[in-house]
C-alpha cells in the first residue's frame, strides 16, 4: 500500500471514530502531495464539523483540479442538495455520471433521483430512479442500498397520492429472497414510508403499528420519528416542547466490556412535544426497546424555545433522540448536556 493510500485509510478511520479535526489535517497533507482524495477527505471532515459551505468550496476546487474523478462530483452534488441548491446539485450528478464506471452509475442515479425528489420534481425523480432499478449492477450495491432505493420509490408514490402503489412496492420487497441482511437504518425509512401510505389510505391502525416498528428498527431516523408523529396525528395548544435527560437500565451486558457482567445503566436525551413529563415519558418509551421501558425515568427537563425546533403547536411526539451513554451500576453516570 502506498503512502497516499495509507493516509487515506487513516483519515477515514478518524472520520469513522468521530475525529474530523485529525482527518482534516491528513486531508491537507494529502493535498500537498497533489492527491485528489485530499478533497474528498477534507470535504467530509468539514461536513462533520457542520461547515457544509466549506465542504462545497473544497469540492469545487477539487473538481477543477481533477474533473475526471466521479466521487468528487457526486459528493459535491450531495452537499449542494443538502443545502437546497438543486439545479447545481443536478449539474454535479450529471458530471459524475459522465465519468463514473458503469458499476457505480447506480449510486449516482439514486442520488440524482433523491435530489429531484427533494426539489419536488417527482416525475423526473421517478424516471431517474428507474435507471437505478434497471441497472445490471443493482444487486452488487448491497441489500441496504436497495432498501434505500425502495424507500425513495415509496416516498415518490406517497408524495403523488398513490399509496397503494407504495404498499405494493413494500410487499414486493418483503417477498424477495436474499442472502444478505440489509440495514436497520434503511428499513426504518422503508417502514416510515409504508406508515405514511397506510395513513393516506385511511388505515390509521396500520399506520401507527408500522411507525412503531420503524422506530424500533432505528430510533434515530428522522423519517421514522416523523411517521410516528404523523400516525398519532395529535396536536395541542397546551403541549410543551421539552429537552429531557432520561435514565434507564439496559437489558443485557455489553459484549465489548464484560459479556458475563451486569447489564449497564444508561443516560440519553430526547426532544419531545407533550402535555407534561408523564406523557413525554410514554412517548419516549415507544422508541426504546421493550425490555428497558419500565426502568425509564426522567432526570432533568429543560424547555425548548420555539424558534426553529419542535413547536408547542406541532404534532405531539418525539422529535430527536441522543446517543446512549452506558455505565456500570455503582458508577456515577454523567448527565448529558445535549
Which whole number is the average pLDDT over 21-41? 94
Task: Report which of residues 241 and 305 the model is more confident about.
Answer: 241
Distance (Å, whole) CA 137 – CA 148: 15
Using DSSP's 3-state secondary structure scheme, residue 51 falls into: coil
Task: Report which of residues 241 and 337 the model is more confident about.
Answer: 241
Whole-number pLDDT of residue 335: 47
Q: How far apart are the first and last CA of the chain?
A: 41
- pLDDT > 80? residue 312: no
Q: Which three three-digit cell numbers place residue 22?
A: 485529525
Q: Is 250 within 8 Å of 292 (Cβ atoms)? A: yes
Distance (Å, whole) CA 57 – CA 34: 17
Segment 162-171 long-range contacts (CB within 8 Å, at least 24 positions apart): 163/196, 163/197, 163/198, 163/200, 163/201, 164/197, 164/201, 166/193, 166/194, 166/196, 166/197, 167/194, 167/197, 167/198, 167/201, 170/194, 170/197
Q: Which three three-digit cell numbers place residue 228?
A: 410516528
Assign 4 a pLDDT band (cuts: 50, 70, 90): confident
Q: Is 239 within 8 Å of 285 (Cβ atoms)? A: no
Give the global pTM: 0.89
Exposure letters 173-184 (e unless 16+ CB within 10 A, then b): beeeeeeeebbb
**In this structure, how many other beta carbons lie within 10 angstroms of the beta carbon of residue 221?**
22
**134-160: per-residue pLDDT in tens?**
999 999 999 999 999 999 999 999 999
With 0-12 / 13-18 / 19 or more C-beta atoms within 10 angstroms meaning exposed / middle / buried, residue 228 is buried
Q: Which three three-digit cell numbers place residue 318?
A: 418525539
**12 to each of 16, 17, 78, 107, how far by Cα in Å?**
6, 8, 18, 20
Assign 337 a pLDDT band (cuts: 50, 70, 90): very low
Whole-number pLDDT of residue 179: 64
Amino acid at each position: 500500500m502506498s503512502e497516499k493510500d495509507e493516509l487515506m485509510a487513516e483519515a477515514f478511520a478518524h472520520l469513522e471514530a468521530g475525529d474530523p479535526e485529525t482527518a482534516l489535517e491528513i486531508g491537507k497533507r494529502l493535498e500537498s502531495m497533489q492527491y485528489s482524495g485530499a478533497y474528498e477527505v477534507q470535504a467530509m471532515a468539514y461536513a462533520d464539523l457542520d461547515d457544509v459551505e466549506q465542504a462545497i468550496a473544497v469540492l469545487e476546487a477539487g473538481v477543477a483540479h481533477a474533473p475526471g474523478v466521479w466521487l468528487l462530483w457526486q459528493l459535491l452534488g450531495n452537499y449542494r442538495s443538502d443545502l437546497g441548491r438543486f439545479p447545481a446539485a443536478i449539474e454535479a450528478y450529471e458530471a459524475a455520471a459522465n465519468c463514473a464506471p458503469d458499476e457505480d452509475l447506480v449510486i449516482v442515479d439514486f442520488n440524482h433521483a433523491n435530489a429531484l425528489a427533494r426539489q419536488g420534481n417527482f416525475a423526473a425523480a421517478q424516471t431517474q430512479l428507474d435507471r437505478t432499478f434497471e441497472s445490471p449492477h443493482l444487486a452488487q450495491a448491497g441489500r441496504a442500498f436497495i432498501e434505500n432505493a425502495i424507500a425513495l420509490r415509496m416516498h415518490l408514490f406517497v408524495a403523488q397520492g398513490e399509496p397503494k402503489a407504495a404498499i405494493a412496492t413494500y410487499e414486493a420487497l418483503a417477498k424477495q429472497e436474499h442472502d444478505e441482511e440489509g440495514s436497520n437504518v434503511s428499513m426504518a425509512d422503508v417502514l416510515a414510508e409504508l406508515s405514511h401510505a397506510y395513513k393516506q389510505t385511511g388505515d390509521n391502525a396500520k399506520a401507527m403499528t408500522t411507525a412503531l416498528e420503524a422506530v424500533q428498527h432505528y430510533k434515530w431516523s428522522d423519517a421514522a420519528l416523523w411517521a410516528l408523529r404523523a400516525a398519532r396525528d395529535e396536536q395541542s395548544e397546551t403541549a410543551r416542547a421539552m429537552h429531557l435527560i432520561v435514565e434507564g437500565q439496559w437489558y443485557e451486558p455489553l459484549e465489548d466490556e464484560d459479556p458475563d457482567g451486569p447489564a449497564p445503566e444508561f443516560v440519553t436525551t430526547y426532544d419531545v412535544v407533550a402535555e407534561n413529563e408523564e406523557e413525554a415519558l410514554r412517548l419516549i418509551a415507544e422508541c426504546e426497546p421493550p425490555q428497558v421501558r419500565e426502568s425509564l425515568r426522567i432526570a432533568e427537563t429543560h424547555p425548548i424555545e420555539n424558534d426553529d425546533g419542535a413547536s408547542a403547536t406541532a404534532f405531539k411526539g418525539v422529535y430527536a433522540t441522543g446517543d446512549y451513554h452506558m455505565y456500570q451500576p455503582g458508577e456515577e453516570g454523567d448527565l448529558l448536556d445535549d
